[in-house]
Structure 1
Amino acid sequence: MASRTTASAGDLVPADALNSEGAEPLLEHTTEDPFLDWFRHCTPYIHAHRGRTFVIAFGGEALNDARLPELVHDIALLHGLGIRLVLVHGARPQIERRLAERGIAFQYVNGLRVTDNAALACVKEATGAARVEIEALLSFGLANSPMAGVRIPVASGNFVFARPIGVLNGTDYQHTGAVRRIDAVSLAQRLDQGAVALIPPIGYSPTGEVFNLTAADVARAVAIALEADKLIFLVEGEGLQDRRPTTTQPEPATQARRIRSHLLGAEVAALLAEDKAIGEDLGQALRAGAEACAHGIARVHLVGRNDPSALLRELFTRDGAGTLMTGEPYERLRAAQSTDIPGIRKLLEPMERAGILVPRSAEELELVIDRFQVTELDGAIIACASLIGFPQAGIGELACVAVHPAYRAQGRGDRLLAHMEAQARAQALERLFVLTTQTAHWFRERGFLPGSVEDLPEERRRQYNEARNSQVYIKCLQTQR
Structure 2
Amino acid sequence: MSDIALLHGLGVQLIVVAGVNQQIDDMLQERNLTPKYVGGYRITDREAMRIAIEAAGQIRTTCEQFLSKGPAIPMFRRHTKGDREIHFEPALRVISGNYITAKRRGVLDGTDFGLTGEVRFVLKDDIRRQLDNGNIVFLSNIGFTASGEVLNCNTYDVGLHAAAELGADKLFFLHLDEVAALSLPQWLPLSEAQNMLLEKLQNSISAQQMDALRATMDAKPAEPVSAYGVATSLSPAQLKTYQAMKREDLVVDLDIWSAQGFPTAVSTCVVACCKGVKRAHLLDARIDGGLLLELYSRDGVGTMISADFYEGIRKALPNDLDGLAALLEPLEKAGILVKRSRDELADMLPSFTVIERDNRILGAALLLDLGQTPDGVPVAEVGAFCVDPIYRGSGRGDSLLDYVEQDARARGIERLVLLTTRTADWFEQRDFRWQGAAYASELLPLARRSRINPARNSQLYVKNLEAPADNLQAPGKRIGF
Q: Confirm whether residue 187 of structure 1 aligns to residue 208 of structure 2.
A: no
Whole-Å separation in 2 of the counterparts to 1:74 and 1:356: 41
Q: Confirm whether residue 173 of structure 1 aligns to residue 113 of structure 2.
A: yes
User: In the alignment, which residue of structure 2 is the partner of 1:384?
Assistant: 407
Structure 1, 259-268 or 178-187: larger mean CA deviation = 259-268
Q: Confirm whether residue 261 of structure 1 aligns to residue 241 of structure 2.
A: no
User: In the alignment, which residue of structure 2 is the partner of 1:312?
Assistant: 292
Structural RMSD (CA): 4.2
Q: CA deviation at 1:369?
A: 8.2
User: In the alignment, which residue of structure 2 is the partner of 1:270?
Assistant: 198
Q: Classify the secondary structure of the residue corresponding to 2:61.
A: helix
Q: CA deviation at 1:290?
A: 1.8
Whole-Å separation in 1 of the counterparts to 2:397 and 2:378: 18
1:222-371 to structure 2, matched below 5 A, reads 222-237=162-177, 239-241=179-181, 257=183, 259=185, 261-264=187-190, 265-270=193-198, 272=200, 275-276=229-230, 283-326=263-306, 328-332=307-311, 333-334=313-314, 335=353, 355-357=376-378, 365-366=382-383
Q: CA deviation at 1:381?
A: 5.0
Whole-Å separation in 1 of the counterparts to 2:188 and 2:154: 24
Structure 1, 308-317 or 297-306: larger mean CA deviation = 308-317
Whole-Å separation in 2 of the counterparts to 1:178 and 1:102: 26
CA offsets 1:288-333 (integer angstroms, 9 cap, x no match): 222211111110111111112322221112321111112x213454
User: In the alignment, which residue of structure 1 is the partner of 2:148?
Assistant: 208
Identity over aligned pairs, percent: 30
Tell whether the 8 Å contact from 1:240 to 1:259 is kept in structure 2 after alignment. Answer: no
Distance 1:239 1:174, change over 3 A: same
Q: CA deviation at 1:282?
A: 6.2
User: In the alignment, which residue of structure 1 is the partner of 2:21?
Assistant: 92
Structure 1, 162-171 or 298-307: larger mean CA deviation = 162-171
Q: CA deviation at 1:93?
A: 2.2
Structure 2 residue identity aligned to 1:234: L
Structure 1 residue identity aligned to 2:407: C
Distance 1:293 1:368, change over 3 A: closer
Structure 2 residue corresponding to 1:112, chosen from 41, 45, 50: 41
User: In the alignment, which residue of structure 2 is the partner of 1:432?
Assistant: none
User: In the alignment, which residue of structure 1 is the partner of 2:471?
Assistant: 409
Whole-Å separation in 2 of the counterparts to 1:276 and 1:262: 19
CA offsets 1:10-33 (integer angstroms, 9 cap, x no match): xxxxxxxxxxxxxxxxxxxxxxxx
Q: How many residues align?
A: 307
Tell whether the 8 Å contact from 2:163 to 2:277 is kept in structure 1 after alignment. Answer: yes
Q: CA deviation at 1:405?
A: 3.5
Q: Classify the secondary structure of the residue corresponding to 1:177.
A: strand
Distance 1:297 1:358, change over 3 A: closer
Structure 2 residue corresponding to 1:162, chosen from 87, 102, 108: 102
Whole-Å separation in 2 of the counterparts to 1:223 and 1:146: 37
1:127-142 to structure 2, matched below 5 A, reads 127-142=56-71
Tell whether the 8 Å contact from 2:186 to 2:300 is kept in structure 1 after alignment. Answer: no
Whole-Å separation in 1 of the counterparts to 2:476 and 2:142: 48
Q: Classify the secondary structure of the residue corresponding to 1:158.
A: coil
Structure 2 residue identity aligned to 1:366: G
User: In the alignment, which residue of structure 1 is the partner of 2:157?
Assistant: 217
Q: CA deviation at 1:382?
A: 3.5
Tell whether the 8 Å contact from 1:268 to 1:287 is kept in structure 2 after alignment. Answer: no
Q: Classify the secondary structure of the residue corresponding to 2:14.
A: strand
Structure number with the bigger relative contact order (C-alpha 8 A, sep ≥ 6) is 1
Structure 2 residue identity aligned to 1:384: D
Q: Classify the secondary structure of the residue corresponding to 1:151.
A: coil
TM-score if structure 2 supplies the norm length? Answer: 0.55
Give the gaps of 5 or more residues in structure 2.
77-87, 202-225, 233-257, 315-352, 356-361, 388-395, 412-463
